[in-house]
A and B are shown apart, each in its own frame.
Chain A
Amino acid sequence: MSPRRETPMVPDAEFRSYYGLPVINPPVWEEREIAGYIFLGGLAGASSAMAAGAALTGRPGLARAAKLASALAMTGSMGALVKDLGKPSRFYNMLRTFKPTSPMSVGSWILAGFAPAAFIAAGTDLTGRFPRTGTAATLGAAVLGPAVSTYTAVLLADTAVPAWREGWRELPPLFAGSSLAAAAGVGLAAAPAGQSGPAVGMAVIGAAVELTASARLESATGLAGQAYSAPEAARLLRAGRVLTAAGAGGALAARLLGSGGRARPFRRRSIGALSRASGAALILASACTRFGVFRGGMASARDPQYTVVPQRARLDSGSAGGGQAGAGHPHVAAAPGHAGAVQVGE
């Protein structure tokens, strides 16, 4: 048995290929940089939205934690992006032009607006200077933040990578939910206990959306979705789901236990610890989910069956790609007649 397929969860569909080589060229993106960027960007975007909510409702502690997390995550994101390009000066070429057909171009412009706003929001909060500029920056970052969190779903979907492309419906809500949960995690882990209430609501909504979208990503995307059960991806996605559920559950439990009168100091401390641990779990969950999605896509790019089988099925059912934009997920059982085909070089 080859080491790559010790537990073949996915029975190989019948298909033909050129010596089993991939049809598309798999992305050359480094996992740490790009999946890391997608995770951090999501966290930053949703944190900025949370920061504005906190500032507007008089929760300065939560607002500060959110602004700092957003600025830190942005620093990490930009670092990762520049590292992936090779030279910092190359980033400027991104802003040479604006191309709506390129999610990366659109994203660069969103980032060009968002990152300075996030930095100014954090800087003014810390120093206490220029409060009005600070408020404007906080609101600006909150407006752009949700776009920072979700555009990366389009970045992945707008490729020939089967597991991402076929997941174009599921990835945006998945990333939105995962970002919400991560930002909620920041609030729970870092804000003063009395102010983190709204983070619990964000955690619960985010977790619900993330878990639903994640399940659909694997079940509703035909053969391509099965790439997510490649061991290296499945492990992370499973960890993401468990941590998400645990984090949201823990946050909710801490909230319920903490409400209702004055608790004893020991009990109060335990509740605080539970809340903080839940926050950490949610942040980790978001990272696991994004890295899992990245790996599922890579697995689908490396194995030609994910490219060939659905396309062949489309052809054989007479609905070739030409006019069929958005034709949904074709049924991907391999057509009979290929079963006995001459398989070369296998």
Chain B
Amino acid sequence: MGFFTDTSICIGCKACEVACKEWNQVPEDGLNFTGMSYDNTQGLGADTWRHVAFIEQPRRLGAQQVDLHHEGDGQFRWLMSSDVCKHCTQAGCLDVCPTGALFRTEFGTVVVQEDVCNGCGYCIPACPFGVIDQRKGDGRAWKCTLCYDRLKADMEPACAKACPTKSIQFGPLEELRTRAAGRVEELHQRGVSEARLYGHDPDDGVGGAGAMFLLLDEPEVYGLPPDPVVSTRQLPDMWRRAAVSALGLAGAVAVAFLGTRR
């Protein structure tokens, strides 16, 4: 199960952020004023499991009428996108977790068991998307659970439930992929040629995300990595390299002792 977030119909109301915080009792994440358009949350973290990005661009959106703005040629568009944990098929956070606190649920999602997490912090730099983070004062790692408790009770996640435009859709991944492909097609026909999918491809660097997006610009503009690859893909090579180096170290010690006259 997973999410399809269609950012073309996001209105930036942040109902998802609020619903997520309420349902999961996520602590306050700072009362900041950033000046970054309407985004005062800045990014995902231990205390932010849904984050709405706001991007202002001097550019036309599809067949938008552009005579509303005074400066320049009047082109202006506002991109809004609700970001969330990708629940990767090959999840870096889960792979590197030394305690088994991070696990894959029966819904295919990735969840932290807080009673097992020992605060080692390894999952944080292992996530290629900058999702999971350490909670101050607590030391443990926290992130979106895709409302594991609600799923178990046959309910949809709080964010999807609260989204008034159905920008956030919840369902089985296969179904969402089909729906997403159809929506891109539709937007292209309507002249929004910049519409594209992100995280939908099961052959991508994380084996496909459990949260896919329809974006209207390049992923990095939304703070998403353009081509994330889970680091554990290279782990066998890395271990080999370390083993050779360790043997080299032992060999060097042996040579030093054998080669030294008393």
Does A180 lie within 8 Å of B96, measured CB to CB?
no
Does B205 lie within 8 Å of A321, measured CB to CB?
yes
**Nearest CB on A from B120, distance (A):** 6
Q: Please pick, from B45, B58, B226, the residue contacting A308 in the complex, using a CB distance under 8 A.
A: B226
Complex Cα–Cα for A179 and B201 (A): 43
> Which stretch from B8-16, B122-130, B144-152, B157-165 is at the chain A interface?
B122-130
Residues of A within 8 A of B (CB): 15-19, 21-29, 45-46, 49-50, 53-54, 56-57, 84-87, 90-91, 93-94, 96-97, 99, 101-105, 108, 142, 146-147, 149-151, 153-155, 157-161, 165, 168-169, 172-173, 175-176, 179-180, 184, 197-202, 205-206, 209, 301, 304, 307-308, 311-312, 314-315, 320-326, 341-342, 344-345
Query: Residues of A contacting B117 with CB < 8 Å?
Result: 93
Please give the number of chain B residues whose Cβ is less than 8 angstroms from any Cβ of chain A in the complex. Answer: 83
Complex Cα–Cα for A93 and B58 (A): 52
Does A150 lie within 8 Å of B118, measured CB to CB?
no
Complex Cα–Cα for A304 and B228 (A): 13
Is B53 an interface residue, CB under 8 A from the partner? Answer: yes
Is B66 an interface residue, CB under 8 A from the partner? Answer: no
Residues of B within 8 A of A (CB): 34, 36-37, 42-45, 53, 55-59, 92, 95-101, 116-122, 124-134, 139, 201, 203-205, 218, 220-229, 231-235, 237-239, 241-250, 252-257, 259-262
- 28 residue pairs of the A-B complex, CB under 8 angstroms, read A16-B220, A18-B43, A23-B220, A24-B130, A25-B127, A25-B130, A25-B132, A26-B125, A27-B124, A53-B254, A91-B118, A99-B100, A102-B95, A108-B98, A146-B246, A153-B245, A155-B122, A159-B125, A184-B256, A198-B259, A201-B257, A202-B253, A205-B256, A311-B226, A322-B203, A325-B234, A344-B221, A345-B37
Does B231 lie within 8 Å of A23, measured CB to CB?
no
Complex Cα–Cα for A50 and B256 (A): 9
Does A342 lie within 8 Å of B125, measured CB to CB?
no
Complex Cα–Cα for A238 and B34 (A): 37
Does A197 lie within 8 Å of B260, measured CB to CB?
yes
Complex Cα–Cα for A54 and B256 (A): 10
**Nearest CB on A from B74, distance (A):** 15
**Nearest CB on A from B130, distance (A):** 4
Query: Residues of B contacting A29 with CB < 8 Å?
Result: 121
Complex Cα–Cα for A55 and B28 (A): 59
Complex Cα–Cα for A323 and B203 (A): 7
Q: Please pick, from A21, A50, A85, A172, the residue contacting B43 in the complex, using a CB distance under 8 A.
A: A21
Query: Residues of B contacting A26 with CB < 8 Å?
Result: 124-125
Does A158 lie within 8 Å of B204, measured CB to CB?
no
Query: Residues of B contacting A25 with CB < 8 Å?
Result: 43-45, 124-125, 127, 130-133
Query: Residues of B contacting A179 with CB < 8 Å?
Result: 249
Query: Residues of A contacting B229 with CB < 8 Å?
Result: 321, 324-325
Q: Please pick, from B53, B116, B201, B260, the residue contacting A200 in the complex, using a CB distance under 8 A.
A: B260
Complex Cα–Cα for A27 and B247 (A): 30
**Nearest CB on B from A183, distance (A):** 8
Q: What residue in chain A is nearest B43 (Cβ atoms)?
A: A21
Query: Residues of B contacting A315 with CB < 8 Å?
Result: 226-227
Does A150 lie within 8 Å of B132, measured CB to CB?
no
Complex Cα–Cα for A21 and B220 (A): 10
Does A308 lie within 8 Å of B246, measured CB to CB?
no
Query: Residues of B contacting A27 with CB < 8 Å?
Result: 121, 124-125
